Structure 1
Amino acid sequence: MKQVEIYTTPTCGFCMMAKRLLGTKGITFTEIDVAGDPDKRAAMTQRANGGRTVPQIFVGDTHVGGCDDLMALERMGKLDPLLAD
């Protein structure tokens, strides 16, 4: 399974929903909290091609986007193939 990274803040409802979906699928992920850390947020924004909102989700080298994008992949049956090695 590819590495999953999710940039979050502690009070973000969309972050919680994205993490819940990943958790229910048994997917382990690395969470990067960008709250109060301008360097981490700048790195997230650069990596996400200008995306400044959280969550920003990456599967391997693929930028998935935010929570809505993750949920759409799941609904279309495209999340599992993306996660597979």
Structure 2
Amino acid sequence: MNPTQSDNAGQPEIVMYTSATCPYCVAAKNFLASKGQKWREVRIDLDPAERERMVARAKRTSVPQIFIGEEHVGGYDDMIAMHRDGRLEALLELGA
């Protein structure tokens, strides 16, 4: 299965706004894949309307911007900080 297809049964959907040239986007995808997670990738470099939606939703212009369910996790560094604090895993399990 394509890892960008979000099908984490019973778990909140993960949405990641990305661009093709973003090394932090690659790092975020690799981290989520290492945790066995699936996500829906939204490429803002291919669709200006998606970029506008991301900025309206996240109040940030940088990528990646990661959402788990309705919660805005932030970027890669924010996600790793949540993981180190034990908050990321709890958020991923909310739908279970």
Query: Structure 1 length as normaliser, TM-score?
Result: 0.95
Report the identity percentage.
Answer: 42
Counterparts of 1:28-67 in structure 2, within 5 Å, are 28-48=38-58, 50-67=59-76
- 5+ long unaligned stretches in structure 2: 1-10
Whether 1:9 and 2:26 are equivalent positions in the alignment is no
Equivalent residue letter for 2:18: T
Shift of 1:76: 1.1
Q: Counterparts of 1:70-85 in structure 2 under 5 Å?
A: 70-84=79-93, 85=95
4+ residue runs of structure 1 moved beyond 3 angstroms? none
Q: Are 2:7 and 1:19 equivalent residues in the alignment?
A: no
The number of equivalent residue pairs is 84
**2:3 counterpart residue number:** none
TM-score (norm 2): 0.84
SS of the residue 2:25 aligns to = helix
Superposition CA RMSD, Å: 0.8
Deviation at 1:36, TM superposition (A): 3.7
**Can you give the 5+ residue segments of structure 1 that lack an aligned partner in the other structure?**
none
Match for 1:22: what amino acid?
L
Question: Partner amino acid for 1:70?
Answer: M
Q: CA deviation at 1:2?
A: 0.9
Residue aligned with 1:42, SS: helix
